[in-house]
Every structure is written in structure tokens, then in C-alpha cells.
Chains A and B, each alone.
Chain A
Amino acid sequence: MRGDYAFERFHGEPPLSVIRSRSLDLSGWGRFPVEKCDAYRPESVEEIRELIRVAPSESLISRGMGRSYGDASLNSGRGVILHERLNRILSFDPETGLLHCEASVTLAEIIDVFLPQGFFPAVTPGSKNISLGGAIAADVHGKNHHRDGTISGQVLGFHVLTGEGELVSCSRSENSRLFWATLGGMGLTGAVVDVRLKLRRVDSSYLKTQTIRTTDLQETLDEIILRDRDYDYSVAWIDCLARKKSLGRALLLRANPASPSELPSFERESPYSIRRKLPLTVPFSMPSFFLNSGNMKAFNSCFYWWPRRTEALRDFESYFYPLDAISNWNRVYGQKGVLQYQLVLPLESSSQGLREILERVAESGWASFLGVLKSTGPESGGLLSFPFEGTSLALDFPNRHDSIFAFLRELDRLVIHYGGRTYLAKDSSLTPSAFRTMYPAYEDFLEVKAEVDPNGRFSSSLSRRIGLTE
């Protein structure tokens, strides 16, 4: 209706933030690298579309909660789309647990809203402060990967806004190539704007956990490869400083969901209650000598005194997210940050490969705070997804000296030698040639990318570093 508005020309005018960016020093959770990026913060899907069309930045990449460790959600000197304001829950069916929401809704929010109704994310990584967009882009896995695979198994579909500004609906049956390129595609196929995800029904917010101590690598592997199948969830903390006969000794933390009848009587009334803990914070960056090898050794030897086997009832928070209890724990690694290195080896080479890698790490003197070992199940189908059947090991290396990169190259060579690969969501050091060897499906990925984003509107610091885009 003309004349209906006092000022016709202001009607439906695109909001200003579309073209206004803010220059921010961004980093991933490892706080290395730190890069200056043009940050845009759209508040609607239409704004993202407009942004893709007119933003002056040379290329764009989505960013969720910035919990990837390296440069996956960075775009040095170019554009970053902060999804944080697009976090609305769009529907939920309490019969089926089917949730439809915008991509920057976090697992923490999902747990807050839906655990009291008896639902929990069926697959969750070691932090709940991640967005669903990030979960899809990294095709994340959890402590139940050996049973339930990656989060892709729970994802019914999503919409991707491509570099051409087209909103494409993806699922296993609709645009399935884009679906499998986007799951694990590290944001390079476009911005995921909404997600349909199935939550898992749970009977309580507690798990029956069992902790056992192993004495060497063989025992650790025997346990996780042969016995993990009796548990929904399993993870092992490995002592990366132990050598010789103790090499590969570990604490195995395994769990199955608890039913209300297994809870202590005072919890049975409200099986979904979560006791709120005061958040702890690390107020400033720790000086890097805090993590000297003496301290680390002390930390890592603690489990000598751990009893051989303990059983306990623990709530979801403390089992799944021990690190989230301290909100800025990444600061313990000091100003220069940390490099995380997560690898997976196939079953047949796990034993020999892990032995060699752990030996190299132990003798290198690159102290590693947490070594996390886990058995992994079959591949998901995501073209660039990380896990495949075998064993995965995650290591932290405080960024104390530039020679760490040469050391990581050496680890890359070992990983490749044993037929494995490293995880892009944790990575900040992989080279183009190593990437291509580890991810042979990258050519298929690039084919899909060329179809939906022929002008290369989406790229990131990661994608340029590993030679996946220009």
C-alpha cells in the first residue's frame, strides 16, 4: 500500500550493522594465533544474506563460541560473521525430542532448558560452551563416539546460507552432498543458520561411573578396545610423561546413565536437578613457568595414589565437562597460548603407533598437561570429518617456543606413517601436503564447495593455511 507509511523509503530499510564491522583481535580457545579480523554481527538471517552480498571484506567465515583451538573461526584481515545473536529456539517436540533452533544456540543452553524435561544432547564434546553451528562444522564427537558416532547421527537437517546468498535446505535426502560437505566442513560451505537435532531422552542427570587405573599402554588399549563396548561413555586420561614400562598408563573414566532408582533417595524426587556450582575463573594469564615440567610431573603422577578401581555416581556436569567448571581455564597456558594436537590412528596400527608417538612426546620434553585417549567408532560420512574407527589421542602443548612447530611436523609424519589424521577443529599447525594426505576426500569436498560457492566468498585462516582455499 503506497502512502501507508509516513516515509516510504525507510520502510524495510536494511539495518546498518549489515555493513558495519568492528575490528577485533580474535583467537580460538588455544589463544594462538591471535589475528585482527573484521567482525560482523548480524541479528537476522536476512542480515547475513545482505552481508554476504555487500560486505567489503574479501572473504567471510562463521564463528560460533570460538571453542575450536586454532584458526578455524578466524579470518586474518578479512570478515568474520559472529553468530552469537542468532540463538533462538524455534520449536521443540517433547514427544520425540526433536529440536529446531538457530545455529548459535549452545549445548549449555540446550541442557539448561531441556534437561529438566528429561532430554540431553546425545553427543557432546568435552565443553558444553559450543554452538550447534560449531558442532556441525566440526562434526564433533563425544565420549560415546565408539557407540553413537559423531553428532551427525543426531542431526536431521539444517539450512546453509551459501556464498551466493542462497538459503539451501540440507538433510540426508535433500542436497545430501552439501549436507555431508558441511558436516565437518569447518564453515567453508557457508553459514549454517538453523539446525534440526534430536535430543536423547534420559532418566536422570546422573551417571554411574567407574574409574580404573591401568599400568601400561597395552593394558590401556586392551581395556578400551575390548571393554568400552559395555559402556555408553568412555575416556582415558593418559600420563604423557611416563616412560619405559609405565608408558601409556592411564585413568579410564567410563560411565552408563543412571536410572532414578539408582540415585540416592534424596535425589529421586527430582532426578533432573543439577546442583549449581559457583563458577571459578582464572583471573589472568598464568606466567608460563607455571606449567614447567616439574609441576606437570607432579600433576601427572597423582594417579599413582588413585585406587585401582572406584565406582561413583556423578552428575553430567562433572563427568562430561570437568574443565567447564573453571571458566577461563585456557589462561593457565600463559600469554602465548597452547597448541592442541588431536590425532586418530586406525585400529590395526593403534598399538604400535601410539607407542612410538607417546615415546616421542615423553622424550621431547614438550610437557603435555592432558593426554586424552579414546576409542573411536566408524566414520560418519562427513567429507572432512575427523574420527574413524581406531584410537584417538589429544595432547596439549603450551606454546613456549617456536620449535614446537618443527616437533608437530614430526608428529604429523608419524601420524601419516601409521595411516592416521589430525583434527582440524584443534589444529593450528598442519601443512597443505599433510592435510591432503590425511583427508583424501578433500577433492570431493572442493567439488561441492565450487558448486555452492564458485566465487570463494567463504574462507578462513585455517583453510588458507592448509591450502584448501586461496
Chain B
Amino acid sequence: MEKRVLVTGATSAMGRAFVKELAIKGHSLILAGRSEAELESVATDTRIRFGVQVEVCLYDALAMDAAARLEEDLTRNSKLALHGVVFCHGFMPDEVSAETDTELREATIRVNYISTVNLIEVFKPYLSVGEYCFFCTLTSVAGDRGRPSNALYGSSKGALSLYLSGFRSRVFEQGIRVVNVKPGFVDTRMTWGLPGLFAVARPETVAVHALQGVSRNHGVVYSPKFWRLIMLLIRVIPDIVFRRLKI
């Protein structure tokens, strides 16, 4: 059975890191993204470097019926069977603008939360359960506790985390692994040039941690690992103190 994996946000640095690690493991790939030209570049690069089969398809999380359209595109010419799906698309808004911008708020929630939930439900039937199959999503440590500087982004990731935890239990017996990856700061376009970053991880590191989590059937993966401890500490700070902290 050919082990095909669908990757969304495949043209981002995170997406490319997953594509590389999956290709090294010999998976064939379907790359989903917004720019056909960029998708083609990543696809060709992956074929030449790793000799695996790669297809591309357009996906915009803000398009109407985005998940259904992607399904239609992928099932039009042949039967679709997937070993797994990795979700790398995501959007971090400027939180200050978002305070006064309804569309920006809704777009953020749609890209990070709604679109992923829709994709998960639409593509669940296409996971072919051999030994196992998986959904691997990138949420964020920002989803563990709301902070003033990223309340909106954090809540969209946090909502997705809650969904994943319920969904994981629902499909647990079907052999579907649901791995929620919570990276700290990663060295990508999203964080480039932002102030206040520390311990910034390489995208490849996060991808390796995430795929380890998939093969070991972990529910939640913090990447790098020490974030689990930091977030534990941050979660236990009582609200009466937390509201005064400017973190």
C-alpha cells in the first residue's frame, strides 16, 4: 500500500520541512497551498531530491467550501487513499489591528480553526487504516493560555486543540492517530523580525519532533520539549496574578 500524505501550507518553511522529512521516509505526497507556482517549485524540488511522487493542488482556507472543493479536486480522477494529513497552514494577524477589524478577526479564526476542523471531517473517510493512519496538526503553545499580545491567534489555536482532544477520543478505536503539535517559536516568515523571541527552533527540528510523535502515537507534542514545562507553569499561575503580568 502506497503511503500517501497530504500536507497543507506546503509552501511555508514549516510545510517544506515536513515535506522533506516525509519524503526522506519515502512517502508520496500531495501538497496543498495557495500559489500554484510555489507549489510546483516545492514539488519538483522534492521529486528531484528524494525521488518520491508528488502532486499539487490549490487550497485556500478562506475560499467558500474550501474543504469540499479540495476533496472534489483530489477525488475527481482517481480513488483517494491517504496515510495521513499534516496541517501547516495558519495565520497570525496583527492583534492590534484585529481589535477594530471584524473581518481580520473572522479570517484568523477561519484559517486556524474552522478550516482545519472542516478538513479533518471531510478527509477522515479517506484515511486508509493499515497499521495506523494519522492527522498531524500544528497548533501552538499560544493556545495553552490566552495572553494579551496574542489573544486572538492563541484562542484560534486553543480552540483547535480542544477540538483535537475530543476528536482523538472519538476516532481512537479506528486506529487514527491525532497528533497535536505545539511549537514554541519557530524560525519562519511568521516570526521573522518580531521582538521578544527566544529559543527559536528550526522548522526541521519541529517536523522531526512531530513525526516522531506520530510514529510513537503521542497525543500532544511540544517542540522543543521544554515548552511543556514552561506552559505547565504558565497555566497554573492563578488568574488574579496572571492578569497583572504583561507576558
Contact = CB atoms under 8 A, between A and B. Distances in A.
A322 to B, nearest CB: 27
Contact of A43 (B13, B48, B110): B13
Interface string A94-128: 00000000100000000001000000000000000
A90 B62 contact: no
Interface in A36-50: 41, 43-44
A102 B60 CA distance: 26
A438 to B, nearest CB: 38
Given A5-B63, A16-B189, A92 B48 contact: yes
A213 B206 CA distance: 51
Contacts of B106: 6-7
Nearest to B45: A88
Given A6-B63, A43-B13, A15 B189 contact: yes
A85 B63 contact: no
B45 A90 contact: yes
A34 B42 CA distance: 34
B170 interface: no
Contacts of A89: 44-45, 48-49
Nearest to A87: B45
A4 interface: yes
B13 A44 contact: no
Most interface-central of A88, A91, A113 (chain B CB within 10 A): A88
Interface in A49-105: 85, 88-92, 102
A22 interface: yes
Interface in A284-334: none
Assign chain A's interface to a size class. 20 to 34
Nearest to A23: B193
A85 B13 contact: yes
Nearest to A82: B192
B64 A4 contact: yes
A10 interface: yes
Contact of B189 (A4, A11, A17): A17
Contacts of A90: 41, 44-45
A21 interface: yes
Given A89-B49, A90-B41, A11 B62 contact: yes
Interface string B190-202: 1011100000000
A113 B48 contact: yes
Given A91-B44, A92-B48, A21 B62 contact: no
A129 to B, nearest CB: 17
Contacts of B64: 3-6
Most interface-central of B35, B63, B192 (chain A CB within 10 A): B192
Given A10-B107, A85-B13, A88-B45, A44 B38 contact: yes
A5 B60 contact: yes
B103 interface: yes
A41 B192 contact: yes
B110 A6 contact: yes
Contacts of A88: 41-42, 44-45
Nearest to B12: A43
B6 to A, nearest CB: 20
Given A6-B64, A6-B107, A44 B44 contact: no
B29 to A, nearest CB: 15
Nearest to B40: A90
A4 B192 contact: no
A20 B106 CA distance: 24
Nearest to A44: B38
A9 interface: yes
Interface in B73-123: 103, 106-107, 110
Contacts of B35: 44
A452 B184 CA distance: 43
A214 B131 CA distance: 67
Nearest to B111: A10
A52 B11 CA distance: 22
Contacts of B60: 5, 11
Contacts of A41: 189, 192
A6 B62 contact: yes
B194 A20 contact: yes
Contacts of B42: 88
Contacts of A102: 41
Contacts of A12: 34
Interface string B39-81: 0011011001100000000001011100000000000000000
Contacts of A91: 44, 48
Interface in A185-238: none
Contacts of A11: 60, 62
Contacts of B110: 6-7
A7 B62 contact: yes
A60 to B, nearest CB: 15
A88 B107 CA distance: 30
B45 A22 contact: no
A17 B11 CA distance: 15
19 contacts: A4-B63, A4-B64, A5-B60, A5-B63, A6-B63, A6-B64, A7-B110, A9-B103, A10-B103, A11-B60, A17-B192, A17-B193, A21-B193, A41-B189, A85-B13, A89-B49, A90-B41, A90-B44, A113-B49
Interface of A: 3-7, 9-12, 15-17, 20-22, 41, 43-44, 85, 88-92, 102, 113
Given A17-B193, A88-B44, A89-B45, 13 more contacts: A5-B63, A7-B110, A10-B103, A11-B60, A12-B34, A21-B193, A22-B193, A43-B13, A88-B42, A89-B44, A89-B49, A90-B41, A91-B44
The 7 closest A-B CB pairs, nearest first, are A20-B193, A88-B45, A22-B193, A17-B189, A88-B41, A89-B45, A7-B107
